[in-house]
Structure 1
């Protein structure tokens, strides 16, 4: 057993730590987080398009993710009416 088993456990723990904040959230929030993980930065309407979730569900998921500290939002420079969301995990 020895070093290789310890390294495997440590590597597994490091990969999961960032996602612990999302673990207890609803499935819609997990889906939004995963899409942001792949796409980097998106608006709420782009997230609704990518996830095929209703805009209201995406809005709720984003608020839950923001409360958990998993997502950051900022104003879009191209359209100040929109916010851009980025995963912080």
Structure 2
């Protein structure tokens, strides 16, 4: 079962007003990481750094802030159990 881009956008947490309000108070790096995760998820910290063009350290800070607000979740990667991957929460 596939979804159209419009359906995928409608399902995105970034369309949720409550999610957006929490995100509004965070630094720009956290907003960028959330936007990257909206398009392609789940991603590792390294993949997020590559996609966002932010330094690894900045991505880690952004992820920590997003996790504190419970806007991002993480789990171990199915491809490499040594890595965690991140995704937007509902």
Q: Distance in 1 between matches of 2:64 and 2:32?
A: 14
Q: TM-score, normalised by structure 2?
A: 0.78
1:4-28 deviation line (CA, Å, top 9, x unaligned)? xxxxxxxxxx742221111110000
Q: Number of residues paired by the alignment?
A: 76
Q: Which runs of 5+ in 2 are unaligned?
A: 1-14
What RMSD, in angstroms, separates the aligned Cα atoms of the two structures? 1.3
Q: Distance in 1 between matches of 2:67 and 2:47?
A: 17
Q: TM-score, normalised by structure 1?
A: 0.79
Q: Distance in 2 between matches of 1:27 and 1:19?
A: 13
Q: Distance in 2 between matches of 1:26 and 1:18?
A: 15
Question: 1:21–1:69: 8 Å Cα contact kept in structure 2?
Answer: no
Q: Distance in 1 between matches of 2:18 and 2:75?
A: 25
Residue 89 of structure 2 is aligned to residue 88 of structure 1: yes
Q: Give the equivalent residue in structure 1 for 2:72.
A: 71
